[in-house]
Structure 1
C-alpha cells in the first residue's frame, strides 16, 4: 500500500467514523493503514473512485509559431470537436500530443477556458485545475545537416528535417498534460536533453552503401534520444500516486534505407523500457541531473502516441512489443472500437494485428494502425477501456475527423483485498 493512498484511506476512515470512534495515528500512516482489518480496507478502497486516464493526439498545431493561438482565439471547429471528445469521455488525466507549445501557455489557456470549460456540441464542460507543459525538441535547430541533403535547412521542411525533432518552428507538435488531480511539480523529471549515444547498445544509423555513420560525429554526440521529450509527472490520485510517463516518439518513416527515424523511434521506446528496468542506471540522467530509473515500488502509466504498431506498418516492432510485454506493465486486452474495424475494412489492407485495436487512420496508402497507448503498471486492475472512434449513423462520428488519431482511455484501480 503506497503512502498517499494510506493517508487518503485514514482520512476517509476518520471522516466516516467521526462521532463514533476516535482514530489516533502515530508514525507512518502506511503502517497504520496496514493494521486496519482487511474488510475495512476493502470497503474504503471500493469507495475510492477509479482513475480514468487517456491519451489523445489532437493535431492542434499550426504552420508557423503562434498560429494555434490565433486559431483558438476564433471559433475553431476542430478544437471544438477535440474538446467535445474529451468532454464525452471525461478522463481524469489526459495527455494531448501534437498540441503546440508556447512558453506563456497561451494556447493551453485558450483551449481550457474557451473550449473545455464551455459546453461543446451537446457535451458538458469539464475543468482541469492542474496541468503540465514544457519545451520540446521539435523545431529546435540542430546546426547540422541531419538529413544529409548537402545543406543545413533554413526554412520549411528543409529546416524541419535538420531540427533535433522534425518541426517547422520550436514547439510545434508539443505535449500538454491535463489533470483533475494534483501534480507534484517539484518531482517532475524530463529527459529532453538525454543523448541517444549514451544509451547502452545505442544503434546509430549508417549509410547503407558504405557502412559509414549517417550522422557526423559531432551531431551524433549531441543528438537527443527524444524527438519531443520524455516526462515523468507524479500525480496524486484517489488510487495513490501515479507516475505519468508521457512521450511522443518520432514516426518510423520519412527516411531512407538508413532507417534513422525507425531506429530513433525504437530508441525512444527503449528509454521507457530502461526507465522501468534500471532504477540505478548511471547513464539515465534527467535534465536536472538526477540519474536512475523509476523505483520498483512506484506505480505508473505510460501514455502517448508512440508511433509504433507491434505487428504492422513501418518501424522496429520490437520496441513497442518489448514495452507492452515488460514485466512491470499490466497485461490486459487492448482497447477496441468499431471505427478501427470499419475503417480498416474500407482500406482492405492485410494486417497481422487485430484491427479493432487500431487507434489511427493514415489514409489508404498506409491504412490504420495501433500507435496510441495507455499502459498501466501491473499493480493496477483495468476495469474498462476504449478507443473513441464511433461510426455512422452515430452523430459523434463527425467529430473524429479533427485528428487522424483517436482517444484511447482506461479506468484503473488498485486491486481490492481478498
Structure 2
C-alpha cells in the first residue's frame, strides 16, 4: 500500500490537514465515553488514519465540544497510542445547538434543533478543533463565529414575497457561521502560520427561499472578505482549510462560491488527489480522484467538499487525499472512521 510521505519539519516541510471525523454523538458526554473506552471502532479508526498521515497541524470537524476539552484531549491520546503525538489543542464552542428563541426555519414552531443558531441536538454538538505539534497562539486568535449574517458585506439574505425570511427579528440574531470561522496563529519553530478554519453548513434541507444555500455561499465567500481587508486583520502567511460542504461542479448549492475561492489569485489550489485512480461516476462532471467524501451513490454521491488552500506566497511540495484501496485493510479502516477522507498539503517550511 502506498502511503503519503511522513511529516518532517526538519526536512523543510510543514504538513497541514483537514478531516471531517464524523465523531459527533447524540448527547453530551457520549463522545468522551466512547473515546476513553478504547473499544470504539470508529474512534480507533479515526486515530489510526491521523497517525498514518502524521500531520503537523490538523483541523478536525464534527467533534463534540465540552468545556474542559476532555473529549479532544482523550482523542489526542488515542492518536498518540497509534504512533503520532501532537501536544497542543485548540477548540471553541461552535454555533450548533445554541437556542435563539425564534422560528429560524419558518415552520411556525420554535424548538431545537432546527431553530438553533445552527442545527444541533445540544450545544457543542459537531464542533471544530485543532491538534498541533506546535504552540497555538490563543491570545491573538480572531474568532468570527458571532458575526451576524446580515453584517457580512453583500450578504445573500433569504427573502420571500412579504419580506425577510423567516422574519426580520430572526435575521437580526442569525449568525453567519454554521460551526465557526477562526483565524488561528500557529507558532512553529520556523515562524508563525495562520489557519483560516471553518466548517460550512450544507446548502440543502431548506425551501424555495434557499436559506441554507445562501448561508453556505456566504460562509465560503467570507474568506474573500477577510483577504480583501473588510473583515478581520491581515495575517500572512496563511492557509484556508476546512469543509465547505460544496463541490465546485457537482451536486446542489451555489457553486460559484467555492469556485471563486479556489481560483482566487491570492490562494493556490494544490488539487489534492488520492494515490490510486478512481473510476468516474456516471452523471458527475468532477474528477473522482479529487473527491473527499464517499456519500452514498444513490444519495448525494461522492464529492469534493474539503479543502486545504495555502496562500500564494507559500511553496507547495506535495498534497493528497488519504483514500486507500477499499478492499485493503487501510481502506476498511478509513471507511470505518468516516465517510469523509483526510486531506493534507505539505508546504515548504524552514
TM-score, normalized by the shorter chain, greater than 0.5 = yes
- Between 161-170 and 215-224, report the one with greater CA deviation: 215-224
Alignment partner for residue 93 of structure 1, among 47, 51, 57?
A: 57
Structure 1 residue 49 displacement after superposition: 2.3
Specify whether residues 254 and 349 from structure 1 end up closer, same or farther in structure 2 by C-alpha distance, changes over 3 A only.
farther
Specify whether residues 331 and 99 from structure 1 end up closer, same or farther in structure 2 by C-alpha distance, changes over 3 A only.
closer
- SS of 1:109's equivalent in the other structure is helix
Stretches of 4+ moved more than 4 A in 1?
none
CA distance in 2, matches of 1:300, 1:389: 26
CA distance in 2, matches of 1:201, 1:224: 15
Larger Rg: 1
CA distance in 2, matches of 1:339, 1:82: 21
TM-score if structure 1 supplies the norm length? 0.78
Q: Deviations over 1:163-208 (max 9, x none)?
A: 101111100110110110121111111011101101122121123x
- RMSD value over aligned CA atoms? 1.7
Partner residue in 1 for 2:100 = 142
For the Cα contact (< 8 Å) 1:274–1:293, is it kept in 2? no
For the Cα contact (< 8 Å) 2:97–2:121, is it kept in 1? yes
Structure 1 residue 395 displacement after superposition: 1.4
1:185 maps onto 2:138 in alignment? yes
Please show how residues 8-407 of structure 1 align to structure 2 within 5 Å.
Answer: 49-74=12-37, 75-113=39-77, 115-119=78-82, 125-153=83-111, 159-207=112-160, 210=161, 212-278=163-229, 281=230, 284=231, 292-295=232-235, 298-332=236-270, 334-337=271-274, 341-342=278-279, 345=280, 348-364=281-297, 365-401=299-335, 402-407=337-342
Structure 1: runs of 5 or more not aligned: 1-45, 120-124, 154-158, 285-291
Structure 1 residue 56 displacement after superposition: 0.3
Structure 1 residue 211 displacement after superposition: 5.4
Structure 2: runs of 5 or more not aligned: 1-8
CA distance in 1, matches of 2:93, 2:76: 19
For the Cα contact (< 8 Å) 1:135–1:174, is it kept in 2? yes
Larger helix proportion, structure 1 or 2? 1
Larger strand proportion, structure 1 or 2? 2
Specify whether residues 331 and 339 from structure 1 end up closer, same or farther in structure 2 by C-alpha distance, changes over 3 A only.
closer
For the Cα contact (< 8 Å) 1:131–1:179, is it kept in 2? yes
TM-score if structure 2 supplies the norm length? 0.93
- SS of 1:275's equivalent in the other structure is helix
> Alignment length, in residue pairs?
339
